[in-house]
Amino acid sequence: MRLDRTVNKSRSVALVALLGGLVLAGCNRQAPPPARPAPQVSTVTIQPQKITLTTQLPGRTSAFRIAEIRPQVSGLILKRLFTEGSEVKAGQVLYQIDPAPFQAALDNARAALGRAEANLFSIRSRAERYKELLADKAVSQQDYDDAAAALKQIQADIESWNAQVDTARINLGYTKVTAPISGYIGKSSVTDGAMVTAYQPTALATIQQTDPIYADVPQSTTELLRVKRRLQEGRLRNEETGQNKVRLILEDGSTYPPEGTLQFSDISVDPSTGSVILRTVFPNPKGMLLPGMFVRVAVKEGVEEKAILVPQQGVSRDPKGAPYAMIVDAEGKVGLRMLTLDREIGDKWLVAAGLAPGDQVIVEGLQVLQMLRPGTPVTVKATPFKEGETTPASAPRSATEAK
């Protein structure tokens, strides 16, 4: 009996130890972690906008008018009458050619004209008198014919000498080489005492009129066809007023204050570049623009009535460089939209395809979402997104890089 008590006691101790171990194990087990909250994001709702599309084309300025100064008579340059690099006016005398031989030629022609006019009276009187005598048979027909011929000869001589007087007067005037246009004159190719010849190939100087001034820019035929196609499809329309107004961007990035005018588009394509030349003209009263400057001209393409713009920080790119945007769908989950971008407009992208009005594009919180997949639930922040206060998720690309 004592042995049975000992066995029962041992069993009781073991049972107590087992229960104690189970209790301790239950106490040491950790509680399950709480569910992770849905990431918070900020969104913008896509709303179509009316915008005027422009394209910036690079080009160079050129003078409105260029005049190469050449002498119209041969002679000796007595004096240069302008300052190189200065502004000259139309009609201003630039060079003085020695007028002495041309003055002598004019005087000689005038003297010959006077001599011919002096003989005209007597020869005309003789012809008229012979005509009266011929009726009475007092002179022969031959005598009258000789007198009439002499009259016509002297009249022709007078006309010839009149023409020579005019020619000599014109040549004398050409000894003063004048400016045909107003503008800025460059350096002189001759000095005082130089001999020049009429219509020589080398210009004495060159005058350039820079107010107004041209800006010639090439536009590719691909871009030209794209714009025309969009106009035909109705995606773009021309403005009623101001369609031919253009803006000029200088080399330092600043905008030239006065607006210019699109004058014309060339009618032929340059086969070496595959582009046409657009000629624009700008006022240049202060002479800020010089011929040959590199500029960019903002040309209006037209008005897009329902343009879709998205902030640049709302657009990312996959490893292949294709642009995409993350949206929040109606169920509050993340969705992926592959985009076709048209161009950069300020701090936004113009989207050609991939988004629709009413889409909620995520513009904040993309750093967290890049580790998640589409379909992940998210929470949209109640505070409205303010553009320009966040750092873009990906570096913006230029309009020429948009796909």
C-alpha span between 248 and 62 (Å, rounded)? 14
C-alpha span between 378 and 346 (Å, rounded)? 29
H or E, element range at 360: strand 360-364
% of the chain with per-residue pLDDT over 70: 81
Q: How many residues does the chain have?
A: 403
Name the band, by pLDDT with cuts 50, 70 and 90, for residue 394. very low
C-alpha span between 15 and 6 (Å, rounded)? 14
Q: Break the chain into its structural domains and give their ranges.
A: 41-51+306-401, 54-64+209-305, 68-207
The pLDDT value given to residue 352: 86
The pLDDT value given to residue 137: 81
pLDDT digit string (tens) for 143-182? 888 889 999 999 999 999 999 999 999 999 999 999 999 9
CATH top-level class of 68-207: mainly beta
- DSSP three-state, residue 183: strand
- DSSP three-state, residue 371: coil
Residue 68 has pLDDT above 60, yes or no: yes
C-alpha span between 186 and 183 (Å, rounded)? 10
Name the band, by pLDDT with cuts 50, 70 and 90, for residue 131. confident
Cα end-to-end span (Å), the chain: 97
Name the band, by pLDDT with cuts 50, 70 and 90, for residue 390. very low
Residue 308 has pLDDT above 80, yes or no: yes
The pLDDT value given to residue 99: 96
* C-beta of residue 240 within 8 angstroms of C-beta of residue 92: no
C-alpha span between 41 and 376 (Å, rounded)? 12
| Dihedral angle over CA of 297, 303, 304, 310, nearest 10 | 50
Which amino acid, one-letter code, is at 220? Answer: S
**pLDDT (average), residues 189-218:** 95
Per CATH, the number for 41-51+306-401 is 2.40.420.20
The pLDDT value given to residue 239: 66
The pLDDT value given to residue 1: 44
pLDDT digit string (tens) for 325-357? 988 888 888 889 999 998 888 889 989 888 989
Buried b (16+ CB within 10 A) or exposed e, 240-263: eeebeebbbeeeeeeebeeebebe
Which amino acid, one-letter code, is at 222? Answer: T
The pLDDT value given to residue 379: 82
Of the ranges 25-29, 127-131, 278-282, 399-403, which one carries the lowest mean pLDDT score?
399-403
Residue 14 has pLDDT above 60, yes or no: no
* C-beta of residue 310 within 8 angstroms of C-beta of residue 390: no
C-alpha span between 314 and 348 (Å, rounded)? 9
Of the ranges 13-17, 190-194, 205-209, 222-226, which one carries the lowest mean pLDDT score?
13-17
What's the mean per-residue pLDDT of the chain?
83
Angle of helix 141-174 versus helix 100-135 axis, rounded to 10: 160
Name the band, by pLDDT with cuts 50, 70 and 90, for residue 223. confident
Name the band, by pLDDT with cuts 50, 70 and 90, for residue 25. very low
C-alpha span between 188 and 241 (Å, rounded)? 46
The pLDDT value given to residue 330: 84
% of the chain with per-residue pLDDT over 90: 44
- DSSP three-state, residue 365: coil
Cis upstream peptide for 212 (omega within 30°): yes
Q: Which CATH architecture has domain 54-64+209-305?
A: Beta Barrel (2.40)
C-alpha span between 271 and 114 (Å, rounded)? 64
The pLDDT value given to residue 9: 52
